[in-house]
Amino acid sequence: MKIVSIKENIEVEKRIAITPEIAKKYISQGIEIFLSENYGVHLGILDEEYIKMGVKISKDQNEILNTADIVIQLRLLLDEQKNILKENQTLIGVLDPYNNKEKIDSLIKKKVNVFSLELLPRITRAQSMDILSSQANLAGYKAVIEAFANFEKAVPMMMTAAGTIPAAKVLVVGAGVAGLQAIATAKRMGAIVFATDVRMASKEQVESLGGKFLVVEGSENLETAGGYAKEVSDEFKKKQEDLLQETLKKIDIVICTALIPGKKAPIIIKEEMIINMKPGSVIYDLAAVQGGNAAFTEADQIVNKGGIKIMGETNILNKLPVSASSLYAKNLFNFVSNLLDKENKKININLEDEIIKNTLIK
Each residue of 238-275: b (16+ CB within 10 Å) or e? eebeeebeebbeebbbbbbbbbbeeeebbbbbbeebbe
Is residue 139 located within the same domain as residue 160?
yes
pLDDT of residue 261: 74
Is residue 13 located within the same domain as residue 87?
yes
Whether 127 sits among the annotated catalytic residues: the reply is yes
Residue 196 lies in a domain: yes
Catalytic residue of the set 5, 73, 130, 252: 130
Is residue 293 located within the same domain as residue 335?
no
Whether 219 sits among the annotated catalytic residues: the reply is no
Percent of the chain with pLDDT over 90: 85
Is residue 231 located within the same domain as residue 188?
yes
Does residue 324 have a pLDDT over 60? Answer: yes
Residue 124 lies in a domain: no
CA distance 63 to 59: 9
pLDDT of residue 240: 80
Is residue 8 located within the same domain as residue 155?
no
**CATH number for 248:** 3.40.50.720
Does residue 167 have a pLDDT over 90? Answer: yes
pLDDT 10s digits, 231-266? 667 777 788 888 999 999 999 999 999 887 778 898
Residue 126 lies in a domain: no
Is residue 166 located within the same domain as residue 304?
yes
Residue 127 lies in a domain: no
Catalytic residue of the set 105, 228, 337, 353: 228
Catalytic residue of the set 61, 73, 133, 135: 133
Is residue 312 located within the same domain as residue 337?
no
Whether 133 sits among the annotated catalytic residues: the reply is yes
Whether 122 sits among the annotated catalytic residues: the reply is yes
Is residue 35 located within the same domain as residue 164?
no
Into how many domains does the chain fold?
2
Whether 233 sits among the annotated catalytic residues: the reply is no
Does residue 153 have a pLDDT over 90? Answer: yes
Domain limits for position 222? 135-318
Does residue 227 have a pLDDT over 70? Answer: no
Residue 28 lies in a domain: yes
Q: What is the pTM of this model?
A: 0.90
Is residue 184 located within the same domain as residue 247?
yes
Is residue 166 located within the same domain as residue 101?
no
Catalytic residue of the set 28, 127, 208, 233: 127
Catalytic residue of the set 47, 69, 122, 188: 122
Is residue 197 located within the same domain as residue 243?
yes
CA distance 281 to 243: 18
Residue 251 lies in a domain: yes
Is residue 152 located within the same domain as residue 39?
no
